[in-house]
Amino acid sequence: MKQGAELAGLTQQDLVSFVETLGEPAYRGRQIFAALQHRRLRSFDEMTDLPKELRARLSEVARPATLTVESRYLSADGTRRYLMKTHDGFPVETVFIPEERRDTICFSSQSGCPLQCTFCLTAQLGLLRSLTPGEIVEQIVIALNDAYGVGVQPPRGTNLVGMGAGEPFLNFDSLLHALRVMADSHGLHIVPNRVTISTAGIVPRILELANVSDRPHLAISLAAPTDELRNQLMPINKRWPLEDLLNACKEFEKTLKPNERVTFEYVMLEGINDGEEHARQLANLLNRHGLKAKMNLIPHNPADPLPYRPSTDETVDRFKDILESKGIHVYVRRPRGRDIFAACGQLAARQGTPMNRVEITSIGA
């Protein structure tokens, strides 16, 4: 693919500066920003409000889009998974989850992931590379265009979760830049208040995010109530153990808005971290730090060759009851898109033939 500036990751101001370097007036930059982010166009040819000569010039020096969709999968529950490729051949996965009140798009921040969480299929890819701001923004544009048509406004609004492949806080600057681009009211207009970023526990970045004025919500993947168990399940814990992690969350909590809470995600693995003792330890851990957190229990999504099985419904209910009896707010997350390998921890650039899959091969996005 031809090289050139990646326009999808530029803010409106960046685009104005960019067109000025080409000797064009500032309003052309604003026009291109609206074409990319509001009308969600992915080629210069479609930007027919620009003079033909300018379109030709732009195609020599810039790229309006760089991701290509390799395949997409439609779950029986309406969830869609997109397997895309970067211009240099790395896989990127995105999941669109239709919901009654708002749709949610789960995007990736890296291709693969350097962390080694043992319950996650993505870990097995290792880190291939971090994604650029444009590659993060493009995932949202592609999913919305596919779900609703090019440029059509989503009827229910869109929530974003940074819970796809990769550790978002190891690609912090690109992530924040992409969020700034997407928040612009002349573009996608998805404000940070509609975005939740999940981290495995990169403590310095949690503290840094606390000082970002217009920031997304924070979620922490916890998975275990003790260092001993968490070291096994999430080796990043050896670098930043639970005490450091929860102290950082406590600092973060000081900056929360009224009614905002830090969310903890707890993947439930049968016979590993789902016992009554674990539930008590978990409640004590949060209460000892005085955290007014929200706990999401996520039954594990099985995927070969991961050695785990999901906790039974009864175990999850019992676990929930114990946490609630100790004052913790608990939600059980219903798995979405398991049949197309789109659920939490299942993203690993799979192209196989999961059951119930409907593959759609052409995509106009």
Closest separation between CB of residue 348 and ligand SF4, Å? 9
Can you tell me which residue has the tokens 């600057």?
A: 173
Residues 167-196 that bind ligand SF4 (CB under 6 A): 167
Which single residue is written with the structure tokens 């005085």? 290
> How far is residue 313's CA from residue 287's CA, in Å, rounded to a whole number?
25
Residue 101 φ/ψ, nearest 5 degrees:
-90, -40
70 included as an active-site residue: no
Please select the residue that binds ligand SF4; options are 7, 34, 120, 147, rule is CB under 6 A: 120
Q: Is 318 left (phi over 0), alpha (psi -120 to 50) or beta?
A: alpha
Interacting residues with ligand SF4 between 203 and 232 (CB under 6 A): 221
Size of the site for ligand SF4 (CB under 6 A): 12
Between 47 and 178, name the residue whose CB sits nearer to ligand SF4.
178
Residue 10 region, left (φ>0) first, then alpha (ψ -120 to 50), else beta? beta
In the bound state with ligand SF4, the residue whose beta carbon lies nearer, of 34 and 120, is 120
Q: How far apart are CA 71 and CA 59, in angstroms?
A: 26
Residue 97 backbone dihedrals phi, psi, to 5 degrees: -120, 105
CB of 20 to ligand SF4, least distance (A): 39
Tell me: does residue 125 bind ligand SF4 (CB under 6 A). Answer: no
- Which segment (23-31, 112-120, 129-137, 171-179) binds ligand SF4 by CB under 6 A? 112-120
Choose the stretch contacting ligand SF4; rule: CB under 6 A; options: 8-16, 139-147, 164-172, 247-255: 164-172
Residue 41 interacting with ligand SF4 (CB under 6 A): no
Point out the catalytic residue in the list 6, 24, 93, 253.
93
At CB < 8 A and 24+ separation, what contacts does 314-317 make? 315/268, 315/270, 315/274, 316/268, 316/274
Q: How far is the CB of 239 from ligand SF4 (least distance, A)?
A: 13
Q: According to CB under 6 A, which one of 66, 94, 104, 122 is a site residue for ligand SF4? A: 122
One-letter amino acid for residue 67 of the chain: L
Sign of the alpha-carbon torsion through 71, 77, 78, 80: negative
* Vertex 93: Cα angle to 91 and 117 (nearest 5): 90
- Span from 142-150, 159-167, 224-232, 350-358 in contact with ligand SF4 (CB under 6 A): 159-167
**273 and 224 Cβ atoms separated by less than 8 Å:** yes
Sign of the four-CA dihedral 194, 195, 201, 204: negative
Residue 168 or 187 with smaller CB distance to ligand SF4: 168
Q: Does 339 bind ligand SF4 (CB under 6 A)?
A: no
93 given a catalytic annotation: yes
Which residue of the set 117, 120, 249, 344 is catalytic? 344
Q: Which of 123, 197, 303, 365 binds ligand SF4 (CB under 6 A)?
A: 123
Asked whether position 200 contacts ligand SF4 by CB under 6 A, the answer is yes
**CB of 192 or CB of 201, closer to ligand SF4:** 201
Please report, for the chain, how many H helices and E strands are present, in that order.
11, 15
Residues with catalytic roles: 93, 344
User: Where on the chain is the footprint of ligand SF4 (CB under 6 A)?
Assistant: 113, 115, 117, 120, 122-123, 165-167, 200, 221, 345
